[in-house]
Each structure stands twice: as C-alpha cells, then as structure tokens.
C-alpha cells in the first residue's frame, strides 16, 4: 500500500496485484530449471494426495515455528509485538477451522470446510540455539519493496532468512502500492523461502488497515507456501484454469470486495464461486474457509517437500 496521501488529493491503490505469488512462480520457472523440476515432483505428489491415492502420515496437530522479520523505513513500519501476536492468533484460528466466521460458510459447502491441523507459534530458539521471541527488527533505507525478494537479504536492505527447514520465515515491510503480499511455492531456494506481507495487511491491530485488517493476507500467502493455488486457476478471466482441487468450483477470475452469495461464473450455478475461500481475493471479512481438497494438498507438502520442517516443528514445539 502507498503512504498516506496528501489531504488535497485522495488516491486509491490498485489491488489488481493483491498477491504476487504467481509472478514469483513464473519468474523462478523462467530462471531456474531446478525449480521447475522440483515443482513437477511437488505437483505429482499433491495430485496423489488430493485424489485420495496417498494419505497423510501426520498425526495430531503440527505447530510450525515462525520468525517474523520486521523491515522498517519509518517508526510506523516497525510494528508492535502485539500486532505480530494478533496475526499468529488469526493463523491459528484459520488453519484449525476455529475462526468465528466459519459459521458463515454456505450450507452447501459446510461439509467440506476443513481443519488443516496446522498451528503456528513464534520461535523460542534462534538458529544458534539462543532464546528468542521470534521477531527480528531491521531498519532499511529503502522506501518500499517489490516481488524481487530484495527484502530477504541483508545486502539488499532487508533481512536474511533463518533456516527454512526449521522455521517459517515471514517478512513484514512496506510493499509497493497495490501489493499486499507474496509467497514462494515449495521447491524454491531456501534463502528466499517464506512469505512477505505489507505491514498494513498484517494482523488485526496497529497499522493493519481495512479492508485488509483481518489477518487474512497472511493466511492466503501461507496457503501458497503450503502449495495452494489461487482458486480461479490464474487464467485471467477465463474458465480453463485450475487450482488442482476437485472440491473447489471452477470460476472465471478473482473476486474482490464482499460479494453476495451466490455469485456465478463459468456455468457454476446454482452455488457459484467459492469466493469465501482463503485463496480468492475478497476482503478479509469475506474469506473464511479451506476445503478438504486443499487440506490434502497441504498434507502432501508437510509429508514430503516440507517433511524436515514438519519433524523439526515436532521437536521444537513448546510443551
């Protein structure tokens, strides 16, 4: 989001690039043959889980250690511990199907709204084995960041990642206008693994700004980090794309704002688009569910591409 406009001229940001995950994905496909090969393996495994040909070996709830790297150019961008904690609280509701607004899921989809059995906690031990609160704070001379991963490197004016096989790295900074966040799909380099969120779309208090002050930008981006695609399949406004999940309806393109149910596209009447899914582009107040098929894809990642992290998480989870 942009900085506060002058009183004489009010501008509205363009949220057409709400999420930059697919932009990063395509860049890595073009530049890194190893990433392309890794992605093919990841998707083959995800397809088996989503189709029920493989079942998760995970038991109980996986609690993932998180490090939040706050990269700030102004005092306002140096968000409070309370704002960070509010975001962790939202994640733990959303990924456990404990969010209060899950009751708003339309009756037709209540049976497939799913608990991912994933929780998150701020790391208590740093990479050197020292106690930590799971938060780093880094001043920067840069006014804002884009999807080029500059924020993920100290030499670029950001902060280096902690080991990706032990932590979920979340960078919180000022992103350029119109960009709320982005993520790296499983299969990319460890040095850039994680998600990036603009500080005005992070958590539910402090600098979090409506309509993105419900913590759902992080839910969406961590969904990508766990290999979920946008629900419309990223084919523009066509009906030929796919998120590779059978229980999410085909839809033409992203939904914005707070649609009314049903909202139809791609001949998907009578129920229409599942715009309340976390992997659409609606306002935070309008998204409140994952499906069983999406959870199967997340299971595939935690059992395979992120298996080391899953095991580390079990070892490091506070009692």
Give the active site residues.
Answer: 221
Residue 21, C-beta contacts closer than 8 angstroms, at least 6 positions apart = 182, 183, 184, 185, 221, 224, 230
What is the distance of C-alpha 285 from the center of its chain?
A: 16
Say what the alpha-carbon torsion angle 28, 31, 33, 38 is, to the nearest 10 degrees: -10
Q: Cα 148–294–179 angle (5° rounding)? A: 25
Running DSSP on this structure, what letter comes out for residue 53?
Answer: S
Strand residues in 109-167 grouped as ranges (E) = 118-122, 135-139
Contact 147, 179 (CB under 8 A): yes
Alpha helices per DSSP H over the chain: 21-31, 33-50, 81-94, 216-225, 292-303, 307-316
Q: Quote the CA–CA distance of 162 and 304 in Å, as a whole number.
A: 20
Task: Tabulate helix, strand, coil % of the chain (nearest 5).
Answer: 35, 15, 55
């Amino acid at each position: 989001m942009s900085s506060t406009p002058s009183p004489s001229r009010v501008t509205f940001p363009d949220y057409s690039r709400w999420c930059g995950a697919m932009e990063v994905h395509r860049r890595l496909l073009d530049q890194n043959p190893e990433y392309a090969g890794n992605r093919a393996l990841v998707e083959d495994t995800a397809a088996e889980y989503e189709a029920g040909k493989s079942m998760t070996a995970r038991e109980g709830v996986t609690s993932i250690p998180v490090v939040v790297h706050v990269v700030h150019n102004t005092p306002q961008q140096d968000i409070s511990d309370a704002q960070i904690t509010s975001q962790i609280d939202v994640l733990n509701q959303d990924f456990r199907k404990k969010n209060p607004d899950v009751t708003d899921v339309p009756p037709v989809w209540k049976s497939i709204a799913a608990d991912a059995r994933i929780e998150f906690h701020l790391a208590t031990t740093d990479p050197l084995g020292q106690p930590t609160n799971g938060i780093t704070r880094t001043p920067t001379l840069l006014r804002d960041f884009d999807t080029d991963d500059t924020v993920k490197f100290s030499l670029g004016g950001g902060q280096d990642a902690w080991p990706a096989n032990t932590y979920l790295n979340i960078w919180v900074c000022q992103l350029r206008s119109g960009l709320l966040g982005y993520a790296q799909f499983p299969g990319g380099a460890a040095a850039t693994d994680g998600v990036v969120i603009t500080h005005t779309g992070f958590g539910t208090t402090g600098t979090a700004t409506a309509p993105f002050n419900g913590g759902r930008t992080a839910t969406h981006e961590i969904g990508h980090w766990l290999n979920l695609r946008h629900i419309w399949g990223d084919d523009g406004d066509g009906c030929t794309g796919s998120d590779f999940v059978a229980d999410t309806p085909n839809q033409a393109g992203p939904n914005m704002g707070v649609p009314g149910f049903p909202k139809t596209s791609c001949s998907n009447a009578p129920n229409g688009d599942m715009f309340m899914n976390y992997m659409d582009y609606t306002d935070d107040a309008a998204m409140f569910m994952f499906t069983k098929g999406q959870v199967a894809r997340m299971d595939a990642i935690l059992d395979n591409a992120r298996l080391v992290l899953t095991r580390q998480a079990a070892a490091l989870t506070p009692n």
